[in-house]
Amino acid sequence: MAFDPPACEMPASDAAARRSAGGACNETQELQRAISGDAAAASAIFRRHHGAIYRFAWLITGSETQADDVTQDVFVELLCGRSSYRPACGSLAAYLCGIARHCCYRTVDRRMQSVDDWDVVVETHAQHDAPSLPLDQLERSRSMETLYSAIRKLPPLFRDVLVLVELQQLSYAETAAITGIELGTVRSRLSRAKDRLAQMLNGTTE
């Protein structure tokens, strides 16, 4: 039974907070402390961003194990001082998604490009069998499975933009920087991705 992992949720308040100038400044200072060995700062950054990074990797790879590995690799690279993050170039969240995207395409099987054999995965931190779901949760589970099944069939060039903008709540500019395309191309690909997704969900295309 598939459903959206709670560990992957990113509250809207977090998305809004990360875009504030003061928040970005404080987070940059926090990151500097973390790289210097401040365990509390490192833990705070991890707690703030790991859910969104895991969700991104999970949506791109379709694998719980790979999403865990990618998430770990992202934070190891960030906190071991190997990162080249510059606040002037964008938010830390966008930078982490960029690392995650690179890790995903570097580590997963090449067949992922066709996304024909993705599996919808269960909650990443579940240590026991999932409990029986009430009817409304069951219906939501089925709806989410249908949605993710459609997303995983999108070509990567459309899927990446859709996931970054709509699910990761990144700006067009941040998405353009991560994917290496022009701002106008982000808009056009997002529009085409939404059109294709709507067609698939409505059963009007394969």
pLDDT tens, position by position, 47-103: 999 999 999 998 888 788 889 999 999 999 898 877 778 887 788 999 999 999 988
Contacts of 170 (CB under 8 A, 6+ apart): 91, 93, 94, 97, 164, 178
pLDDT tens, position by position, 97-131: 999 998 888 765 443 443 333 233 223 333 333 34
Which domains does the chain show, CATH number per domain?
A: 6-201 (1.20.140.160)
Q: How far apart are CA 177 and CA 181, in angstroms?
A: 7
